[in-house]
Structure formats: C-alpha cells, structure tokens
Amino acid sequence: DVKVTQSSRYLVKRTGEKVFLECVQDMDHENMFWYRQDPGLGLRLIYFSYDVKMKEKGDIPEGYSVSREKKERFSLILESASTNQTSMYLCASSFLWGPETQYFGPGTRLLVL
Amino acid sequence: DAKTTQPPSMDCAEGRAANLPCNHSTISGNEYVYWYRQIHSQGPQYIIHGLKNNETNEMASLIITEDRKSSTLILPHATLRDTAVYYCIVTLRDDKIIFGKGTRLHILP
C-alpha cells in the first residue's frame, strides 16, 4: 500500500512565524502535490513537483514556497504565516500523471493565531 | 472553476444503493469524469473514473449519459463507512484535479 505521511495532524502557529509542513511518501513516486482545503471551496492546488528540485506553481501559490531536495520528501513553507492561511493542508503523490493515481496523506490542520 | 454541479447533501439507508448525481454540461470530448471521496479527518480517496463507457470496480459503478453531460456514481450496498463527501471532477487525463464542493452523503442506520 502506498503511504503518504504528513509531519503533523494539528499545528498552531502565530502570525509572522515561519511554518514548515513536511510530507513523505514511500512508493518512489515522481510527482508530489500540496493542496489546501477550505469549507465551501474544495481543494485548491498550491504547488506541485514532478522531480527532485523541480517545482511548479498551482492555482494559489502566493504566500507559500516549496522544497523538494529528496524524491520522497516535499515540504511546504509559509515564510510568514498569516491568519488567512488557517486551513487544512493535504499532500499527495503519484507515479504517473492522471488523477486516478494520486494518493493523499491524512492532512495537517493549521491554525494561525 | 470546478466544471461540475453536485447536490450539497444526500441521505441513503444502510444496505441500499446510493446514487450520487453529477452534472457536467460543458465537458469536452477528451475530458474524463473522476470520482473521489473524503471521509472525515482523512485525505481524499480515488474511487473510479470514466470517459464514455460505464465503469465498475470493487468500490462503485459509474454511469455516464450518452451525451456525457451528466453521470451517476452508484455505491451498490451502502454501509455506514461510506459516509463521506463525494467529489465529481472533470479533467484531462494529464491535468490537475480541481475539487468542487462535493456531495455530503449520510448513510442512515
């Protein structure tokens, strides 16, 4: 079974803090994704990566950056957290392109005070 | 723009078939219909997808109308564990997923 793990299930941070969200997958997948999920808005793609050190902006990259130094790990960084970044953050990975191949992690619920 | 319209919520009795509708009237010829679900406190889970033909797997069946403007996801014998938000997504095979608001399915004991 594919396993996608995220470093924290719940996180509380203060405005202006730098926040790191870590995602690790154990299936040697090429592609990794970061989404945020908000009530009434569904999932929105923040960034994705199709190879080590490669990254592409999604629909809402503003206020975020990412890092992919190793194939199995994809980090989402909030340089200076703001209250409007309070959300559920979901990581996914896939070997092939195609929505049917994406496996999601359990999510990190981030609260920015 | 999620390109799909789903009812916000539905109820289904345990053991019955749950039929979840989705409208996608602007679907283009090479776009697929995908279904995901998200159980509370978990990440989304892929269920099934199709292009033109009806599809069935161990989880569900997908019925796509001949004009492809709508589809129905069928869970043949719903259980309490099927309580979740179900997302219908229309996209190209190699394109990103755009999740809409989905349908919150309640399975009633």
- Is-contact B49 B62, C-beta < 8 A? yes
pLDDT in tens, B30-41: 999 999 999 988
Q: How many CA atoms lie within 13 A of B105 on its CB side?
A: 30
Could you say which of A40, A45, A104 has the minimum Cβ distance to residue B44? A104
Q: Which residue has the tokens 């070997």?
A: A95
Residue A48 pairs in a beta bridge with A33, A56
pLDDT in tens, B57-92: 999 999 999 999 999 999 999 999 999 999 999 988
Residue of A nearest to B49 (CA): A100
pLDDT in tens, A33-85: 999 999 878 788 999 999 999 999 998 999 999 999 999 999 999 999 999 99
What is the reported pLDDT for A111? Answer: 97
Chain A residues near residue B93 by CB distance under 8 angstroms: 97-98
Q: How many CA atoms lie within 13 A of A24 on its CB side?
A: 4
The span from the CA of B62 to the CA of A29, in Å, is 28
